[in-house]
A and B are shown apart, each in its own frame.
Chain A
C-alpha cells in the first residue's frame, strides 16, 4: 500500500518506474561504490572531480544552446567566479561556504549586465562577441592589479573549512590529507543539484519558452512573450553556473591566474555539450566526462595528445554530428544514405 503511494508521487514528477530504478542505480554507484573502491586512488577521483566541475560550466552553456545561442564565452564567467572566490577567501577571509554562492551571484550579476548588450546580437555575431569576451576578462584580470594582483595571480587559496553548529560538525574540514574524497562528494552533490535544477527549469513553462526562443525569436515575440526577459534569464543562469564552477575550480587547485580560463576552455565547454547531444540535458555531463577521461587516456602520448584530440573531434563531427545520445535514434540507415 505504501509503495503504491510512493510510486504515485513519483509519477507526479513525470518519471517512469524503470527510470527511477536507473536513477537509484546511478546514485548508488556514484555515492557508494566509487568512494568505497577508489577511496585511495586520488588520480581517478581527481579525474572525476575535474569532469564534474567542467560539467557544471557546460550545463550553463547548454542552457544558452537551448535558447538557440552559441555561447563561446563561458570561461569569462568561470574566471569571474574564480577570482571572486579567490579574493573573498584570501583578502576578506570569508568562508568558502559563503563565497561559493556569492561568486555565483557575482558572476550572474556580470552576465546580467553583459546580457543586456550582447543578447541583441544574433547568430554568428553573438558567437563572435562571446569569443572576444573571454579575452576581455583575461585582460581585465591582468590589468586590475590592485584587486587581482595582475600576472602574479592569487596563490595559496585555503581549502574549505569545516561547518560547525555548536559542537556538531555538519561538513568536515577539507584541510586534511584525504581531501580528494571530500571534494568528490562536494562536487558530485553540487553537480546533481545543478542538474536537477536545470532539468526542472527546462521542463517547466520557462523551459518551453526557451524552446520557442530557439525555434524562432520573432514568432515567440509575436505571441506576446517578453523575449528580452527570458533570454537574459537564460544567460544569467548560465553565468551563475559558470561562477559556481569557477569557485569550485579555484578551491580545488588553490590558485588562479589571469590566463587560467582561456578561449580554449570556452571552446571546450561548448564541445562537451555538442558531444553529449544538444537535445538532452544529460548531454553536457556525459560529454565532459567522456572527453576528459579520453584526454587523460591520451596522456601517455603527451606530444600527440592535442592532435589526436582534434582528429577525433573532426571525426565526431563527420559521423555523429548530432551527439552521442542521438545514435540510438537513427536506426534507419536508409535515411542517411538518401542524404548523399
Chain B
C-alpha cells in the first residue's frame, strides 16, 4: 500500500511540478500571478482531446499542437493585454485583476464551445506493471517520462541558452535587464508564452489519466498556487519542490484519509507551514 502511494506520488509530483514551473516563471518575469494558468491547462486537455482522440493523430503531434496553441494565446495575451496594462495602471493590482478576467474569459468561452460534458481520452498504451508490490499502469510511466523530460528541457533552456539567461536576468531585476540591451518587450512575450505552454503540456499529458471538462481549470489553479506558496514564488527549484511535496501529500492523503478531507488537511497544513516560513521553502521575501 505504501509502495503504491509512493509511486503515485512520484508520478503526480512530476506533473504538478510542471504546472508549478509555468506559474513560477510567469510570476518571476512579470510579477503577476497568472490566474488563467488552470484554464490554460484545461485548453491543453481539450486540444489534445480533439487532435488525438477525435482526429486520431499521433499523441506527439497533439502535444506539438498544444504547444503551438498555448504559445499563440500566451503571446496574444501578453502583447495586447498585459503589456498595456502594466504600463498604464497606477496600482499594481490592476494586472492581477486583468489575469482574473482572462481566466474567466477562457473558462467561459470553453464552456460555450465545448459544452459541459465530461470526456475521456483513449489510453496510449495498455497494460499494467507490477513491481515493488505496486501496480503501475504503463500509461503512468509514459506520463512520468514525458513530464520529467519536459522539466529537464525547461531547466536546460533556462541554464544554457541566451534566452534562458535573459529570462533569469529579467526575474532578478527588470531595469538592469533593459540596461544590458535585452529587448524586454519581446522577452516578456516569450516568457509568458513558455509559461502558458508548460501549462498546456501538463494538460496534454494529464488528459490521458483524468476526465476532461471545461471547469477543470479552477482546481488546477488553486493547486498551482498552493505549490508555489509551499515552494516559494519566482524560484524555479522551489516550484519543483513544491510540486513534489503536493504530489506526496495528495497521494498519501487520498490513500489514508479519503476524498473530501485530504485537501482540508492540506490547506490546514499550508496555513500552519506559512506561520513558520511565510515565503515558502525557497522563496524570497516580498517587497
Report the Cα distance A336→B85, complex, angstroms.
12
- Say yes or no: B105 contacts A307, CB within 8 Å: yes
Range of interface residues on chain B? 35 or more
Q: With A132-B222, A321-B89, A321-B90 known to touch, is A143 a contact of B260 (CB < 8 Å)? A: yes
The answer, yes or no, to whether B8 is at the interface (CB within 8 Å) is no
- Say yes or no: B271 contacts A310, CB within 8 Å: no
Contacts of B126 in A (CB 8 A): none
Binary contact track B71-114/A, C-beta < 8 Å → 1, others 0 = 00000000001001101111101101110111011001101100
Binary contact track A220-264/B, C-beta < 8 Å → 1, others 0 = 000000000000000000000000000000000000000000010
Q: Which of B33, B105, B263 contacts A128 (CB 8 A)?
A: B33
The answer, yes or no, to whether B54 is at the interface (CB within 8 Å) is no
- Say yes or no: A317 contacts B91, CB within 8 Å: no
Contacts of A340 in B (CB 8 A): 87
- Say yes or no: B104 contacts A124, CB within 8 Å: no
Chain A facing B: main interface SS? helix
The answer, yes or no, to whether A274 is at the interface (CB within 8 Å) is yes
- Say yes or no: B267 contacts A132, CB within 8 Å: yes
The answer, yes or no, to whether B216 is at the interface (CB within 8 Å) is no
- Say yes or no: A317 contacts B274, CB within 8 Å: no
Q: How many residues of A contact B (CB 8 A)?
A: 45
Binary contact track A263-284/B, C-beta < 8 Å → 1, others 0 = 1000100110010001000000
Contacts of B268 in A (CB 8 A): 136
Contacts of B102 in A (CB 8 A): 310, 314
The answer, yes or no, to whether B233 is at the interface (CB within 8 Å) is yes
The answer, yes or no, to whether A165 is at the interface (CB within 8 Å) is no
Binary contact track A312-339/B, C-beta < 8 Å → 1, others 0 = 0110011001100000000000001001
- Say yes or no: A310 contacts B105, CB within 8 Å: yes
Contacts of B233 in A (CB 8 A): 124-125, 128
Report the Cα distance A135→B222, complex, angstroms.
9
Q: Which of A10-18, A113-121, A189-197 contacts B (4 or more CB under 8 A)?
A: A113-121
The answer, yes or no, to whether A181 is at the interface (CB within 8 Å) is no
Contacts of B260 in A (CB 8 A): 139, 142-143
The answer, yes or no, to whether B287 is at the interface (CB within 8 Å) is yes
- Which among B85, B102, B108 has the greatest number of chain A C-beta atoms within 10 A? B108
- Say yes or no: B278 contacts A311, CB within 8 Å: no
The answer, yes or no, to whether B228 is at the interface (CB within 8 Å) is yes
Contacts of B112 in A (CB 8 A): 303-304, 307
- Say yes or no: B81 contacts A318, CB within 8 Å: yes
Q: Which of A124, A306, A313, A322 contacts B91 (CB 8 A)?
A: A322
Report the Cα distance A278→B229, complex, angstroms.
27
Q: With A143-B260, A274-B97, A317-B98 known to touch, is A339 a contact of B87 (CB < 8 Å)? A: yes
- Which among A263, A310, A339 has the greatest number of chain B C-beta atoms within 10 A? A310
The answer, yes or no, to whether A107 is at the interface (CB within 8 Å) is no
Q: With A121-B274, A125-B233, A339-B87 known to touch, is A274 a contact of B264 (CB < 8 Å)? A: no
Contacts of B91 in A (CB 8 A): 278, 321-322
A139 nearest in chain B by CB position: B264
CB distance from A322 to the nearest CB of B (A): 5
The answer, yes or no, to whether B53 is at the interface (CB within 8 Å) is no
Q: Which of A143, A309, A321 contacts B104 (CB 8 A)?
A: A309
Report the Cα distance A65→B94, complex, angstroms.
12
- Say yes or no: B264 contacts A131, CB within 8 Å: no
Report the Cα distance A327→B58, complex, angstroms.
53
The answer, yes or no, to whether A122 is at the interface (CB within 8 Å) is yes
Report the Cα distance A122→B225, complex, angstroms.
15
The answer, yes or no, to whether A70 is at the interface (CB within 8 Å) is yes
- Which among A136, A143, A314, A317 has the greatest number of chain B C-beta atoms within 10 A? A317
Report the Cα distance A259→B222, complex, angstroms.
16
- Say yes or no: A127 contacts B218, CB within 8 Å: no
Contacts of A267 in B (CB 8 A): 100
- Say yes or no: A317 contacts B218, CB within 8 Å: no
Q: Which of B93, B108, B264, B271 contacts A129 (CB 8 A)?
A: B271
- Say yes or no: B286 contacts A123, CB within 8 Å: yes
CB distance from A217 to the nearest CB of B (A): 8
- Say yes or no: A271 contacts B287, CB within 8 Å: no
Q: Which of A131, A140, A278 contacts B225 (CB 8 A)?
A: A131
Contacts of A321 in B (CB 8 A): 85, 88-91, 94
Report the Cα distance A220→B94, complex, angstroms.
25
Contacts of A304 in B (CB 8 A): 112
CB distance from B276 to the nearest CB of A (A): 10
Binary contact track B196-221/A, C-beta < 8 Å → 1, others 0 = 00000000000000000000001000
- Which among A118, A309, A314 has the greatest number of chain B C-beta atoms within 10 A? A314
Q: With A125-B229, A306-B111 known to touch, is A136 a contact of B98 (CB < 8 Å)? A: no
- Say yes or no: B90 contacts A322, CB within 8 Å: yes
Binary contact track B259-286/A, C-beta < 8 Å → 1, others 0 = 0110110011011001100111001011
Q: Which of A114, A127, A143, A336 contacts B264 (CB 8 A)?
A: A143
Subset of 8 A-B contacts with CB under 8 Å: A121-B286, A131-B225, A132-B225, A136-B264, A143-B264, A303-B112, A313-B104, A314-B98
Residue ranges of B at the interface with A (Cβ–Cβ < 8 Å):
27, 31, 33, 81, 84-85, 87-91, 93-94, 96-98, 100-102, 104-105, 108-109, 111-112, 218, 222, 225-226, 228-229, 233, 260-261, 263-264, 267-268, 270-271, 274-275, 278-280, 283, 285-287
* Nearest 3 pairs of A and B residues by beta carbon: A310-B104, A306-B108, A123-B286
